[in-house]
Amino acid sequence: MEKTTYKQGKGKLFTSPNADEMRTFFRSKNKQMKSKLTTVSEAINHYLKDGDYIAIGGFGGVRIPTALIHEIIRQNKKDLGFAGHVATHDCQLLSAGKSFNRCDAAYIVGLEARGLSKNSRRMFESGDVEVTEWSNGALSWRFKAAAMGLPYLPSRVMLGTDTFNHSAAIEVECPFTQQKLAALPALYPDVAILHVHRADAYGNCQIDGILVADDDIAKASKRVIVTTEKVISNEEIRREPGKTVIPYWCVDAVIEMPYGSYPGNMPGEYYSDEDHLKEWLVAEKDLDQLEKFIDHNIRSSADFYEYLEKNGGMNKMKELIRTEHLY
Amino acid sequence: MELMITIAARNLEDGAMVVVGTGVPCAAAMLAQLTQSPNLTILFEAGGIAPLLPTMPISVGDSRTTHKGLKATSMAEIMELCQAGIVDYCFLGGAQIDKYGNLNSTLIGDDYNKPKTRFPGSGGANDLASLCWKTLVVTPQNQKRFAKKVDFITTPGFIEGGNSRLDAGLPANTGPYKVITDIGVYGYHPKTKEMMLLSLHPGKTISDVKENAEFEVIIPNQYETTKEPSAKELKILRENVDPSGVIIGRG
């Protein structure tokens, strides 16, 4: 019988999969249940530094922490790494801010059925961004491995493809069945930014609808910043503990930010603003136009509320709430 | 486009489980659910399970994907269901495809670090086509799309044909099932795993098949003529699935 060969992806591993390093970090992390209420600008200033590797919650245009990403642009954070785990509008924003120089890419530069982001493509076609290729499932499981406190998880995806060849996965033999598997290195981000439906001041979070990977991302990351549609009491959390998706010890900062996923969809609350997302795609066609667009919408806005005001304010929000509840 | 969606829908039998992408695959699953397959379980990679779709979602994660659904979960759980062998079909949209059903949605060009054109990448496609039992692909057919060699194998088909998919370590008895284009429906040769004509759409010819493929498509002695969409199928497609013509209207 021919001897089986085991391949190794040639992509760069941007983060250490060493579970013991994270155990040591978590051992010394303060787990006291104290109020973590703060502001968007303080949280980004305090917990995110240039060069950090970030993971973004939600699904590109669904339940995304838009206010936090805007602040990354406003504070001109640079040289970030990020997990492109269905990065659509979030990828568009980080590209607009030229905020990153490396990316684990499973889904980037597109906005699903809406089309492709011209400026995100500029960023990724420039040659200035280091990219390692993955699939969505692979990135999900890399977060899961980290959330489990493991250095890797075996899987049956990416095998036989160029996606594997440009990943940092390694083929291994199953010690029990001798099957070929793809070992996916755990992904421990420096900072996670998430948007949830409800959280208490300590960071206990509830999410309605799909979780995407937020539960695992929160457990896998060193520091976690959460914006929430609404801050609720600890009593309310304790009334239905089964609803707690992210527990307080994962979380470092909590900010109440109604409409915080705008122009993205917030399941059960408001639908995506398709007109505004279209404006983004149009503005990206020309670089000068895009700069003006970002200046107007983000850099010159004192905070996220001003951005909401510029795009229709409460009247627009009411319209998006109605659209969400059409069916 | 209407023909492609209708044929695709007919391939999803009642009681089956299918993971769909946005656009044409989602429209087809919706049409199937509203015609012959009311008990089709539709799954979305972002975490939506078994919704009764009221309208086309714009994202595979938006709130429509859990409308009257049975469960809202994580992407990891959806992929785990596929890995465990529960899911019959995955249904993927247009990309560059070769004769073994390998798909490219990552890039055009020969320098990975500085691609001529960068596309989104795998998304969930690689996972789904690795793990679901059968992969259905819907794509318009032309020389560029039906490529002799894809610039990048994002998503596995039969890799290099024969047993190479199994040898790569992918689960046994999985792989490309059908490709539905604007010209015909294709399957794969049982041994060589090369693409093979199954049925030709009304008004299309063998030379249409050949002129719109860079590789040689196997033309068997016997192939069928595609059955046209019925008035009922078209009515549901136009009035219920895609009333604003977002998908149907695409050339």
Q: What is the pLDDT of residue A257?
A: 98
Cβ separation A212–B74 shorter than 8 A: yes
What's the pLDDT at A2? Answer: 61
Whether residue B237 lies inside any domain: the answer is yes
- Cβ <8 Å between B106 and A131: no
Give the model's pLDDT for residue B245: 86
Alpha-carbon distance B124 to nearest alpha carbon in chain A (angstroms): 5
Number of domains in chain A: 1
The answer as to whether A29 is a domain residue is no
Total tally of structural domains belonging to chain B: 1
Residue A235, pLDDT > 80, answer: yes
Has residue B250 been placed in a domain?
no
- Residue A267 located in a structural domain: yes
Give the residue-averaged pLDDT of A97-101. Answer: 98
In this structure, is residue B248 part of a structural domain?
no
pLDDT tens track for A257-294 = 999 999 999 999 999 999 999 999 999 999 999 999 99
Q: Between vectors from CA A31 to CA A29 and to CA A36, what angle results, nearest 5°?
A: 100
pLDDT value of residue A5: 86
What residue numbers bound the domain in which B150 lies? 2-241
* Residue stretches of chain B with pLDDT short of 50: none
Q: What's the CA gap between B10 and B175, in Å, rounded?
A: 19
Classify the complex by whether its ipTM is higher than 0.95, answering yes or no: yes
Query: Would you state the torsion angle of the CA atoms of residues A24, A137, B59, A84, taken in this order, to the nearest 10 degrees?
Result: 50
Cross-chain residue pair B130–A213, CB shorter than 8 Å: no
* In-domain check, residue B35: yes
pLDDT, mean of residues A152-166? 98
Mean pLDDT of A55-79: 98
Is position A229 within any domain? yes
Flag whether A275 is in a domain: yes
Q: Which of A112, A179, A208 has the CB atom closest to B60's CB atom?
A: A112
Answer yes or no: is B249 within a domain. Answer: no
Asked if B45 is an active-site residue, the reply is yes
pTM: 0.97
Minimal CA separation from B50 to chain A, in Å? 13
Residue A89 lies in a domain: yes
Residue B154's pLDDT is 98
B246 in a structural domain: no
* Per-residue pLDDT band at A316 (split at 50, 70, 90): very high
In a domain, B164, yes or no: yes
Residue B93 pLDDT: 87
Q: What is the CA radius of gyration of chain A?
A: 20
The CATH number of residue A201's host domain is: 3.40.1080.10
Q: Which domain holds residue A264?
A: 55-128+188-324
Helix or strand holding residue B149 (H, E): none
Domain presence at residue A210: yes
Residue A160 maps to a domain: no
CATH code for the domain of B189: 3.40.1080.10
pLDDT top residue among B56 and A144? A144
For the cut 70, the answer to whether the pLDDT of residue A122 exceeds it is yes
Residue A1 has pLDDT above 80, yes or no: no
Best B19, B24, B74, B105 residue to mutate vs chain A (most A CBs within 10 Å): B74
The arithmetic mean of pLDDT across residues A180-194, rounded, is 98
Q: Checking DSSP bridges between strand B107-108 and strand B103-104, what pairing results, if any?
A: unpaired
Mean pLDDT of all residues in chain B?
95
pLDDT number for residue A4 = 80
Report chain A's mean pLDDT, rounded to a whole number: 97
